[in-house]
Structure 1
Amino acid sequence: MEGIKQSLLVAVLAATLLLSPLVVSGDDDDTGSVKPVVKIVKGKKLCTKGWECKKLSQYCCNQTISDYFQAYQFENLFSKRNSPVAHAAGFWDYHSFITAAAEYQPHGFGTSGGKVTAMKEVAAFLGHVGSKTSCGYGVATGGPLAWGLCYNKEMSPSQSYCDDSFKYTYPCTPGVAYYGRGAIPLYWNYNYGKAGQALKVDLLNNPEHIENNATLAFQAAIWRWMTPDKKHQPSAHDVFVGNWKPTKNDTLAKRVPGFGATMNILYGDDVCGKGDDEHMNNMVSHYQYYLDLMGVGREEAGPHEVLSCGEQAAFNPSSGTPASTSTSS
């Protein structure tokens, strides 16, 4: 009788296991990802994917950033940002980055292409961020590349960065200075004005909002990454993920898709077309370092001509108004 009871118990357990939902191993389930909700609109597959990708988009059918880049990885990339000597200790965090990124993931930020392409874009974007906000130096504890997000503003501005030629479109507010603030620092009244319009925040009158709100600071940087400088030009996002096809003039100017072209768009001839430039090399080093820490590997970064902009002519040659520089300057 006891043997029959045991047999029945085994049978019940087996049936329970068969009826239980199984977790299938795969990219989404390995990370606890939210599965996309798929809709077919005019024959095209579009998706939403929870809070992180809530606008109907083809990109929301892909993995989202939190699927492959999590809080512990953010901590690894910016391991010294909360050091007692960091100038913005306690300001930057993973939640602020992911919250800011959620606005742009339906537009392809970190969600374009397959997982490797998406991870590379996040590493590239953060490579700019880390380089521009670093207080690392050669013998710094943890190495010079471990100190990204040390700053959230320029510490010793040399001027107010008010360009009066924009007085009819982005007039400077009396007593307000438009020095570098943020993750990819904003400089000049017209840049604060454009970013404020896009983000629906009055940054022209209140530029300090950028240094007081980490999510807004990341949003402004991602907006800059995703937005072309001029019509008929690509954004940094476009040149990185393959949305941009160089023209004959681009080829003659040695502009090719990749990380180098992102520097060209964001900083122009401040860093590009100068050969072996120190600031350019610093950004490349941060990008490669982050690829390694994210498990992608720097070998995925591509050859020198893709990584560098040392030989590239600027998309928009300087007219004498300096572009953004490091917030540590």
Structure 2
Amino acid sequence: MPTPHLGTNLHRRAPLAKLTVSAVLALALSALFAVSPAWAADGQITGLAGKCVDVAAASDANGTPVQLYECNGTSAQKWSVSGDGTLRALGKCLDVVDRSTADGAAVQLWDCSGGANQQWVVTAAHDIVNPAADKCLDVRDNNSANGTRLQIWTCTGGANQKWDAPASGGGTPSGFVVSEAQFNQMFPNRNPFYTYSGLTAALGAYPGFAGTGSDTTRKQEAAAFLANVSHETGGLVYVVEQNTANYPHYCDGNQPYGCPAGQAAYYGRGPIQLSWNFNYKAAGDALGIDLLNNPWLVENDASVAWKTGLWYWNTQSGPGTMTPHAAMVNGAGFGQTIRSINGSLECDGRNPAQVQSRVDAYQRFASVLGVSPGANLYC
């Protein structure tokens, strides 16, 4: 397996220009006006015509249909979003009949088995998605009558696919297209520092990330980000750059602010291995965190670490021509994210093994999310 890159992606870049006042204002406004789901109370999942996801006749028998019904507060309508990615009522799981991934496959109640047909992601766009099928929970025929059967269907954004769902574990759901169970599957050997909660806490800084476009696009972007992160950190194992001999080299003394934390303080840290004093200054300015004077926050605070990774992904093009975020949401493909992160050292045949390592990770993670990786994987 190719050796992970582990922290040289930002080391050879020219200094970044300061963010303009208008850019900072735009970021602030995007966060302020980001739409947050109105999560339903008491475990109900409400949808079309304000009606509830309901287990027919409140039966806990395997194979009981799941339907739309007038909300009545009974146990047949009390759902929980479990940490393993399942939706549960009456002690059993919401299940796609016969493990089908076809449009029109009905859903039912069944013993929880851990199968892909029982995995659901509640998104910030109010979709409830089965990743294996890459399809949405759907009210059949857009019919709001009591007893209408629920099914999965290609996500259309229609009102019959929009839901207000309960929070996972009684807290506020992240709305992220990657569940905690899927995150753990992607990173089975991760360093405890890289928490799922740290990642989801950081998402508010860039609400467009994995929240733009179709459900497929959102999943592809999440998989692409996490694949590059995996490559940079050896599978989320490394928090700091491993080659300590490089540490004194990341202070650009030509910057007017210098290196107040010390000559050797700006080594690679975090999921994208942020390095150089000018990158710490620019990321800190964008995030409202003094990283120039306290770069150690990136290795001590998981949320800050993830925010620096998202800052680069969403705002910097590096040696490429677009940000990695733009590459994924505009259909340029995964290869352009590699170019934007480390193209000057890897792309155009410079290091095909490193490129292949990133592509392999992306394909694995796309599979975990049940989505096609799309075209243009290489740079």
TM class by shorter-chain length? 0.5 to 0.7
- Structure 1 residues 217 and 67: alpha-carbon distance in aligned structure 2, compared to 1, 3 A threshold: closer
> How far apart are residue 167 of structure 1 and its match?
2.5
User: What amino acid is the match of 2:214?
Assistant: G
Measure the CA separation in 2 of the matches of 1:128 and 1:114: 21
Q: Map of 1:1-329 to 2, 5 A cutoff?
A: 20=72, 31=121, 66=175, 68-81=177-190, 89-105=191-207, 108-134=208-234, 148-159=235-246, 160-171=248-259, 173-229=261-317, 233-242=321-330, 257-274=332-349, 277-296=352-371, 300-303=372-375, 306-309=376-379
Q: Which blocks of at least 5 consecutive residues in structure 2 are unaligned?
A: 1-57, 59-68, 78-105, 108-119, 127-163, 168-172
8 Å contact from structure 1 (residues 111, 118) kept in 2: yes
TM-score of the superposed pair, with normalisation by structure 1: 0.61
Measure the CA separation in 1 of the matches of 2:122 and 2:339: 37
Measure the CA separation in 2 of the matches of 1:72 and 1:121: 18
> How far apart are residue 93 of structure 1 and its match?
1.2
> How far apart are residue 260 of structure 1 and its match?
0.8
> Which has a greater percent of helix?
1
Give a deviation string over 1:120-151, Cα, whole Å, max 9, x none. 100000001011111xxxxxxxxxxxxx1101
> How far apart are residue 74 of structure 1 and its match?
0.7
Give a deviation string over 1:203-245, Cα, whole Å, max 9, x none. 1121111000111111000010000348x953111121107xx
Measure the CA separation in 2 of the matches of 1:198 and 1:190: 12
Measure the CA separation in 2 of the matches of 1:308 and 1:177: 34
User: What amino acid is the match of 1:295?
Assistant: G
Q: How many residues align?
A: 227
Give a deviation string over 1:235-288, Cα, whole Å, max 9, x none. 111121107xxxxxxxxxxxxx11111111121311112256221111111111
8 Å contact from structure 1 (residues 129, 184) kept in 2: yes
> How far apart are residue 172 of structure 1 and its match?
5.0
Measure the CA separation in 2 of the matches of 1:124 and 1:100: 17
- Structure 1 residues 167 and 68: alpha-carbon distance in aligned structure 2, compared to 1, 3 A threshold: closer
- Structure 1 residues 66 and 200: alpha-carbon distance in aligned structure 2, compared to 1, 3 A threshold: same
**Mean Cα deviation higher: 269-278 or 199-208:** 269-278
> Which has a greater percent of strand?
2
Q: Secondary structure, in 3 states, of the residue corresponding to 1:96? A: helix
Q: Secondary structure, in 3 states, of the residue corresponding to 2:236? A: coil
- Structure 1 residues 35 and 168: alpha-carbon distance in aligned structure 2, compared to 1, 3 A threshold: closer
> How far apart are residue 34 of structure 1 and its match?
6.9
Measure the CA separation in 1 of the matches of 2:70 and 2:361: 49
8 Å contact from structure 1 (residues 31, 68) kept in 2: yes
Measure the CA separation in 2 of the matches of 1:133 and 1:279: 13
8 Å contact from structure 1 (residues 161, 187) kept in 2: no
- Structure 1 residues 112 and 65: alpha-carbon distance in aligned structure 2, compared to 1, 3 A threshold: farther
TM-score of the superposed pair, with normalisation by structure 2: 0.53
Q: Which blocks of at least 5 consecutive residues in structure 1 are unaligned?
A: 1-12, 37-48, 53-63, 82-88, 135-147, 244-256, 310-329
8 Å contact from structure 2 (residues 122, 177) kept in 1: no
